[in-house]
Structure 1
Amino acid sequence: MVALGMPRHLVSPERFALAAYDALSANIAILDAQSIIVAVNRAWDDFAQEFAGAGPTANNGLGSNYLAISEATTGDDRPYALATAAGIRDLLAGRRKVAEIEYPCKVANEQRYYMARVTAFDQDGERFVVVAHEDITRRKRAELALESLNRELEARIEARTRELEEAGRAAERHNAELEESNRNLSQFASVAAHDLQEPLRLIGAYADLLRHRSYDRLDTRSQTHLGHLLDQVGRARQLVRDVLTLSRVAVRPTLQPVDMRALWDACIATFPWPDDTRLECADLPPVLGDAAQLRQLFLNLLGNALKFRSARPLELSLRVEVEGPQLHFQLTDNGIGIAPQHHEKVFVMFQRLHSRTPSGLGSSEAPTGGNGVGLAVCKMVVERHGGRLWLTSVEGQGTTFHFTLPAAPSAHGESAVQHRSAPVSE
């Protein structure tokens, strides 16, 4: 009985207990100490009617022994029924406070999922058990969909990993085959170039002998032909030397610490620099490279600066900047420069920007000889060392060749990249 005038929020909860019990969405049954079903809610009643033909139906299981029903279950549902029965026994014996069993259930040709929660309470000196079956189908389907997606993703990742591993192995095989091919081509080019040297030497020797002994007896046209012959023999011999150079840089080098300043000094000493030439070089840290190939790099770049100098006194400087594990070298001259449209073309094999005949471009008024191989060799050397080569230039003012090389490791395992910016005059 509720006292008259009592505030609504102070109404005794017992007034709503039965209505709330029936309003719960979970299928709930209350068992006594002998596991007899003594009460069920409306959701249990509705589910029992929907699940007709399997389990307690006529009286919704009231008065039935829940343990006996569970233990009599057969088929795929038996493990879950037995687990629920075990939970009920544990709660009745006071061994557990709660038991939860998740299980699938096929109802009206639809696969559903439930969570059975078993709890206990004491009343009037007797223990009772509450068995609540909650429909978790939506959540379970989401979990299963997520698991399926995860399995599919894992399968895709595994398949992709296998593809990448196979691609890596194929790339390794391809690289090994390419290296072997490069070695074979290098050996072939070296042998062919050596074999070509002898006939070219003989042709040049006989042509030179003809010029010394019979030049005056030849008519003007024959003298011109002889001059062309000697020129082409010289060009062919240079081509052979270029092929030999290419054969030496075609194979990936064995990298070792290289003293770049000592290499620079040795290369500078091989050229006939004009007396008014100004050469500058910063302190150069050691690089990790092949000394023979790096010597060829310096020789080609220095020779290029000497060949394409302007009428001004030649100025040439080499500086270096540290860029992480790489060293960025910059070789700058004040020569004739290169037009922007030719900045990439100069690195292409056998591409020439100038004639072999005298053109008045240099102070010596000499023809710019060569076969367009030098800078291509430079690019190959730098790339073989894991770096890159490019240029910046202003036509008529000069050119800077940029190239990167790996810094040599110090005794402590770090890159020996100490850099002093002040140039040293040669």
Structure 2
Amino acid sequence: MSPLPLPPRRYLLEAFDALLTQVAVLAPDGEILEVNRAWSVFAEESGGRDSVGSNYLQVCDASRGPDEADAHATAAGIRAVLADRQAAFELEYPCDTPLQRRFFLVRVTSFQSGHQRLAMVAHEDITRRKLAELEVLALNHSLEQRVAQRTAELQASEEALTRLNVQLEASQQALEEKNQALEASNRDLAQFAFVASHDLQEPLRTIGVYADVLRHRYQGTLDARAEGYLGHIGEQVKRARHLVRDVLALARVSVQPELQPLALEPLWEELTASLPWPADAHWQAGPLPPVLAEESQVRQLLTNLLSNAIRFRSPAPLVVSLRAQVTGPDVQFSLQDNGIGLAPEHTEQVFVMFQRLHSRVETGGNGIGLAVCRKIVERHGGRIWLESAGTGGTTVHFTLKAAPA
């Protein structure tokens, strides 16, 4: 296969002129020997200082103003290439107009023509690429600023969170100290109430004994008024002793109980068998899941609730039932009776200590039983409430923690 013939010289010159890059050929002293059409157009726009015949090195050396440094660097690069100190030289530089921002890349290479080393200088318009690079740089800078801002915000949030954690730990420690002090105070109060209640029993018992002695020894010799006085003394002594026992029961539940798995069905059977039920009463209980509780306090809770059902019964035969339902980590109990009931607006009042809705003569009691029940349930981490239709019957709901399977 024969080689392709070389193109005529006129084609080479036309191709040289067709280049969009501005190209010039320089003599060893910097004189411009040849330029293409793109260089000529640019030279005309710039005032013709760097056209054929002018000395490009002198034009660069004479440059002043914003372009001075780039022009001087270009001249130094051309001299280095012509002196064969370096193979090529490249420099990117701005060349703005009043209406447009532009960037160029100057490349300087050399070639041998006869006995002379000539330089070829090419200026390529790289505005589009440079603007894209600058945009990327601006975006990166903006992103770095945003990252720095987010980092600073995150750091500030972490520092604020650390301060809050320190404050929370301090608050928790203070709360624990207050809880410990409160527990100690409750223990001291419970001990005081126990001692006071125990010490009050003896003088009350003595007063009751002397009242009985007076009644029996002087029976028939006292008038009706004296007999009434002695009767009132005995009743008040009995009431005071009941009140002391109730206060003692309340003091016993003031200390946080130690929770243990507790089977309620045996406790229910034992408790119901010991209560003074009416002859026509009927009581029953459904399946009772085990709970986490303290046995003596749960015994006191059920005793108070069942005693209230017996005390506030209606003329109809008494019916009492206990049901249980597991609700998540708790067991909800419902103790229902068909007694005299109470008005719905009083379902919260009855849990207040010494609050009574009926006279003491009718039902007895000191109005402290349900207050003890609430104290027990809350000490076990549960809650207690009443439901009543007002026309008869009451349902007491309370929750206790379910025992682990």
TM-score over 0.5 for the pair: yes
**1:164 matched to which residue of 2?**
168
Deviations 1:70-119 (A, max 9, x none): xxxxxxxxxxxxxxxxxxxxxxxxxxxxxxxxxxxxxxxxxxxxxxxxxx
Aligned twin of 1:268: 272
Highest RCO, 1 vs 2 (Cα 8 Å, sep ≥ 6):
1
Q: Does 1:384 align with 2:379?
A: yes
1:141 partnered with 2:145: yes
1:201-250 CA distance string (max 9 Å, x none): 00011112212222432223222222221111111101110111112111
Residue matched to 1:58:
69
Q: Say yes or no: does 1:151 pair with 2:155.
A: yes
Q: Which amino acid aligns with 2:206?
A: L
Taking the aligned partners of 1:14 and 1:177, their CA distance within structure 2 comes to 94
SS in 2 for 1:218: coil
| Equivalent residue, structure 1, for 2:115 | none
280-289 or 222-231, which deviates more: 222-231
| Aligned counterpart, 2:253 | 249
**Residues 364-384 of structure 1: CA deviation (Å, up to 9, x unaligned):** xxx311111110001111111
User: Are 2:383 and 1:372 equivalent residues in the alignment?
Assistant: no
Aligned to 2:8: none
Shift of 1:63: 3.6
The change in CA–CA distance for 1:348 and 1:60 in structure 2 (over 3 A counts) is farther
| TM-score in terms of structure 1 length | 0.64
Letter in 2 for 1:310: S
Which of 166, 177, 192 is the matching residue for 2:196? 192
User: Is residue 360–residue 366 contact of structure 2 (8 Å, CA) maintained in 1?
Assistant: no
Larger Cα Rg: Structure 1 or Structure 2? 2
For 2:34, the equivalent position in structure 1 comes to none
Alpha-carbon distance in 2 for matches of 1:341, 1:14: 101
CA deviation vs aligned residue, 1:324-365 (integer Å, no higher than 9, x gap) = 1111100000000011121101111111111112xxxxxxxx
Structure 2 length-normalised TM: 0.68
More helix by percentage: 2
| Amino-acid identity (%) | 49
2:322 paired with 1:311: no
Counterpart of 1:301 (choices 282, 305, 315) is 305
Q: Given the superposition, is the C-alpha separation of residues 57 and 290 from structure 1 closer, same or farther in structure 2, using an over 3 Å criterion?
A: farther
For structure 2, list consecutive stretches of 5 or more residues without a partner in the other structure. Answer: 1-17, 24-37, 39-64, 78-106, 111-128
| Mapping of residues 19-58 of structure 1, within 5 Å | 49=66, 58=69
RMSD: 3.2
Paired residue total: 299
1:179 maps to a residue whose letter is: E
The 5 A counterparts of 1:26-425 are 49=66, 58-59=69-70, 62-63=73-74, 134-135=137-138, 136-357=140-361, 367-410=362-405
Question: What is the one-letter code of the residue matched to 2:350?
Answer: V
For residues 266 and 370 of structure 2, what CA distance do their matches in structure 1 show?
A: 22
Is contact 1:258-1:290 (8 Å) kept?
yes
Contact 1:335 1:396 in 2 (8 A): no
